[in-house]
């Protein structure tokens, strides 16, 4: 990783709120992160932690209303995505920022051939002729490992298996050589042997194409094998961020620590009993005045109920939002 | 591994179970074939144990679980439950057997009636199968809610007011209402968040100990099955390809499919991930309507031999309690010996680490 390289995406203090009949839901609270060229940033969190909403906010894919971006900036290559108008965003989406979603069946259009869907961005964004686009589309399918690529352009999505459909989605996302690829739970709907195929494919494509990737998942195993850096989200906030090895070897936040212990291991020692995180994730009706993890935290201090901790660097590149210090077992001193 | 617990009584004995779903086509809806969702499966479930049933989507594991409770009319084979063949029981006798065998479903949202209160949902089996008075029923409902860790204050609420983990507790309480002996848990944690999964698994383990329950735990989560199961069966395309005590299966898998499946699971440890050599299977699972000739796995098997494309391998016991359906273990004793040697070496390593 080129440390200190200019980030390609720099997000500061993003705040996204949903206006519902039951009141406001504060889905993303002051989220800041950056993404460096060529790196793979893993985003881990449970459902409702705000990981998908954060990414959707950036590329203008949230329906507004009910969603509303209250504040923040997201600088992509010198341009603030949150201030950009629709035309500018449309020119970026699918071209310079590609994305892959969880369910390849619902994100492909069932009434158009795969070839048509692959050629669409090439013609719209790259201004290619039909023949050029067709040749490039076949190249892309071949790149993602679909056998007999040129012939399969005429097939419809239902003629592909789940894993093959996800390969098609990746090919579409890569069509215009994006600088950033956002992958939202891209392997969650797939079987484990197919997931292994897709992960190998993404590793291989990264080596060949060198784009930066944001990989959203709840699976710590997937993150361990693929990410350079990891950002852990809970209750709409980034609670910890670290290089991948450091996050697993020296987790600082009680949530990260508990999460790592609650997952049973396939190869290590078998625990007689699973560690449990008691309670439920929070519903974010109001901007948090205290730490959102406090009700489930085994190490909560008096201060945690009064203040929401800000993110502090414990080491260069390793930040945590927590008052508790695992080294001393007491309050963290900045 | 070889110091197994003393053999326990067999509660469920499945022999050559087949569940085929007909395919109809044409104007006359003539039968043109069948999806062989479960095709000749045999195993035992011992009293008080958890048998894990793993495999990828479409392998027939859920169909197998449902067929065991005779939620389908099975195509063939025997299911002996406590000595009675429930594959052949008439409706009245079957109904009398129902309280002893229950099910916990994957999606707690879809398996709970949104118009019934929690108390009514948990009491429904009691309404159907017992003649308890209203007061006795309510007392039993409270008892069950306590057992699964739901506050009694929630008795009059509706399912939508609960989180996924709590809904699964409601489903478990309903399954327990009639004091069953045997529960089929069909992907009970697949729809839950990671931090909630452990809560539900611990609850299932506590209940098993307290009430002496026997589980068939169906899941695609191999790490969780390693945690909860005593023995594990691996299914591929309608067949059980390997069945073994937990540690034998995870430490020394014999079938090439089991080996690939275990190797595909990512490890939540970046250092281990960096050195892991994965067996990446090519291609996809064939259609169960049109399985390949010979061994079902031969189209994707990295170790397939010529015989595998001709003959369906027999499901045989190759070591104590370790069954496998693979031609590689036909005669090749050295094959098996080398697998056991790796296993023993690994065990020594593990002991060294502990």
Q: At what angle do helices B118-129 and B164-176 cross, to 10 degrees?
A: 20
Residue A35 CB-density burial (10 A; 0-12 exposed, 13-18 middle, 19+ buried): buried
Q: Which of A218, A245, A264 sits opposite B224 (nearest CB)?
A: A264
**A148 at B interface, C-beta within 8 A:** no
pLDDT of residue B269: 83
Task: Give the E-state strand segments of B47-176 in sequence order.
Answer: 50-54, 76-81, 84-85, 101-104
d(CA A45, CA B118): 30
How does DSSP assign B157-181, residue by residue?
--GGGS-HHHHHHHHHHHHHTT--S
State which residue of chain A sits closest to B283, comparing Cα positions.
Answer: A194
**A159 at B interface, C-beta within 8 A:** no
Give residues 258 to 287 of A whose Cβ lies within 8 Å of B.
258-260, 262-271, 273-278, 280-281
H helix and E strand count, chain B: 11, 12
Which has the closest alpha carbon to B50: B188, B255, B251?
Answer: B188
If one counts every other C-beta atom within 10 angstroms of the C-beta of residue B344, the result is 13
pLDDT of residue B332: 55
pLDDT of residue B275: 79
Q: Residue B213 pLDDT > 90, yes or no?
A: yes
Which has the closest alpha carbon to A232: A4, A31, A14?
Answer: A31
Q: What is the pLDDT along chain A (334 residues), one digit of tens a residue?
A: 445 578 999 999 999 988 888 888 888 999 999 999 889 999 998 888 888 889 989 888 888 888 888 889 999 988 898 888 888 888 888 888 988 887 767 788 889 999 999 898 888 888 889 998 899 899 888 888 788 888 888 888 888 877 788 888 888 888 888 889 999 888 887 788 888 888 888 888 888 888 899 999 988 888 988 999 999 999 889 999 999 999 999 999 999 998 888 888 888 788 888 888 887 788 777 778 889 999 888 898 888 888 889 999 999 999 999 999 988 888 887 6
Q: How far is CA A164 from the centre of its chain?
A: 21
pLDDT of residue A193: 82
User: DSSP class of residue A51?
Assistant: H
Task: Give the E-state strand segments of B55-115 in sequence order.
Answer: 76-81, 84-85, 101-104
* Tens digits of residue pLDDT in A277-315: 887 788 777 778 889 999 888 898 888 888 889 999 999
Residue A267 near residue B347, CB atoms below 8 Å: no
Which has the closest alpha carbon to B189: B176, B180, B199, B179?
Answer: B199
Residue listed under structure tokens 């239902």? A158
ipTM of the complex: 0.78
B268–A263 C-beta distance less than 8 A? yes
pLDDT of residue A2: 45
* Tens digits of residue pLDDT in A102-140: 776 778 888 999 999 989 888 888 888 999 889 989 988
* Contact residues, chain B to chain A, C-beta under 8 Å: 56-57, 163, 165, 193-199, 201-202, 205, 220, 222-224, 226-227, 250, 260-273, 276, 278, 280-281, 284, 350, 353-354
Residue A214 near residue A228, CB atoms below 8 Å: no
pLDDT of residue B2: 46
A163–B195 C-beta distance less than 8 A? no
pLDDT of residue B210: 92
* Tens digits of residue pLDDT in A169-178: 888 888 888 8
pLDDT of residue B345: 63
Encoding tokens for residue A264? 């049973």
């Amino acid at each position: 990783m080129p440390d200190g390289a200019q980030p390609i995406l720099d997000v500061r203090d993003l705040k996204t709120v949903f206006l519902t009949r039951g009141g406001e839901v504060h889905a993303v609270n002051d989220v800041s992160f950056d993404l460096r060229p060529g790196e793979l940033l893993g985003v881990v969190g449970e459902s409702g932690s705000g990981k998908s909403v954060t990414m959707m906010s950036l590329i203008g894919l949230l329906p507004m209303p009910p969603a509303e971006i209250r504040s923040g900036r997201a600088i992509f290559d010198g341009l603030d995505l949150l201030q950009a108008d629709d035309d500018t965003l449309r020119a970026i989406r699918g071209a310079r920022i590609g994305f892959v979603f969880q369910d390849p069946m619902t994100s492909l259009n069932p009434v158009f051939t795969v070839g048509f869907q692959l050629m669409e961005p090439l013609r719209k964004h790259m201004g290619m002729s039909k023949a050029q686009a067709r040749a490039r589309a076949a190249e892309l399918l071949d790149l993602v490992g679909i056998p007999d690529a040129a012939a399969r352009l005429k097939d419809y999505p239902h003629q592909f298996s789940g894993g093959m459909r996800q390969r098609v989605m990746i090919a579409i996302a890569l069509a215009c050589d994006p600088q950033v690829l956002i992958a939202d739970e891209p392997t969650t709907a797939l079987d484990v042997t197919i997931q292994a195929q897709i992960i190998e494919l993404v590793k291989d494509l990264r080596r060949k194409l060198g784009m930066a990737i944001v990989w959203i998942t709840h699976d710590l195993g997937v993150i361990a094998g693929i990410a350079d850096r990891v950002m852990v989200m809970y209750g709409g906030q980034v609670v910890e961020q670290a290089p991948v090895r450091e996050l697993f070897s020296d987790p600082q936040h009680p949530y990260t620590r508990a999460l790592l212990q609650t997952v049973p291991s396939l190869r290590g020692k078998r625990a007689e009993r699973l560690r449990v995180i008691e309670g439920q994730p929070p519903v974010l009706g109001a901007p948090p005045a205290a730490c959102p993890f406090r009700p489930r935290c085994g190490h909560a201090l008096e201060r945690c109920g009064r203040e929401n901790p800000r993110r502090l660097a414990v080491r260069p590149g390793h930040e945590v939002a927590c008052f508790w210090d695992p080294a001393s077992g007491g309050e963290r001193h900045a | 591994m070889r110091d197994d617990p003393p053999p326990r009584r067999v509660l469920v004995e499945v022999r050559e179970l087949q569940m085929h779903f007909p395919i109809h086509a044409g104007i006359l809806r003539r039968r043109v074939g069948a999806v062989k969702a479960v095709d000749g499966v045999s195993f035992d479930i011992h009293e008080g144990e958890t048998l894990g049933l793993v495999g990828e989507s479409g392998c027939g594991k859920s169909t197998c679980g449902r067929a065991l409770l005779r939620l389908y009319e099975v195509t063939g084979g025997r299911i002996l439950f406590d000595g009675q063949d429930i594959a052949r029981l008439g409706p009245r006798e079957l109904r009398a057997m129902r309280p002893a065998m229950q099910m916990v479903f994957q999606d707690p949202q879809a398996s709970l009636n949104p118009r019934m209160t929690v108390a009514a949902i948990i009491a429904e089996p009691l309404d159907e199968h017992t003649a308890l008075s209203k007061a006795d029923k309510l007392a039993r409902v409270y008892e069950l809610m306590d057992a699964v860790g739901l506050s009694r204050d929630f008795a009059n609420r509706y399912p939508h007011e609960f989180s996924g983990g709590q809904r699964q507790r409601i489903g478990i309480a309903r399954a327990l209402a009639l004091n069953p002996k045997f529960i089929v848990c069909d992907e009970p944690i697949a729809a839950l968040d990671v931090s909630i999964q452990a809560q539900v698994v611990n609850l299932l383990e506590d209940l098993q100990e307290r009430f002496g329950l026997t589980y068939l735990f169906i899941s695609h989560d191999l790490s969780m099955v390693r945690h909860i199961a005593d023995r594990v069966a691996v299914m591929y395309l309608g067949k059980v390809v390997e069945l073994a005590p937990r540690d034998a299966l995870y430490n020394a898998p014999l079938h090439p499919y089991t080996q690939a499946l275990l190797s595909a699971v990512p490890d939540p440890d970046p250092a281990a991930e960096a050195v892991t050599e994965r067996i990446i299977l090519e291609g996809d699972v064939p259609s169960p309507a049109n399985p390949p000739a010979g061994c079902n796995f031969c189209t994707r098997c990295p170790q397939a031999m010529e015989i595998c494309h001709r003959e369906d391998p027999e499901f045989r016991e190759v070591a104590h309690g370790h069954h496998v359906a693979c031609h590689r273990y036909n005669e090749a004793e050295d094959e098996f010996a080398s697998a056991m040697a790796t296993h023993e070496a690994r065990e020594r390593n593990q002991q060294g680490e502990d």
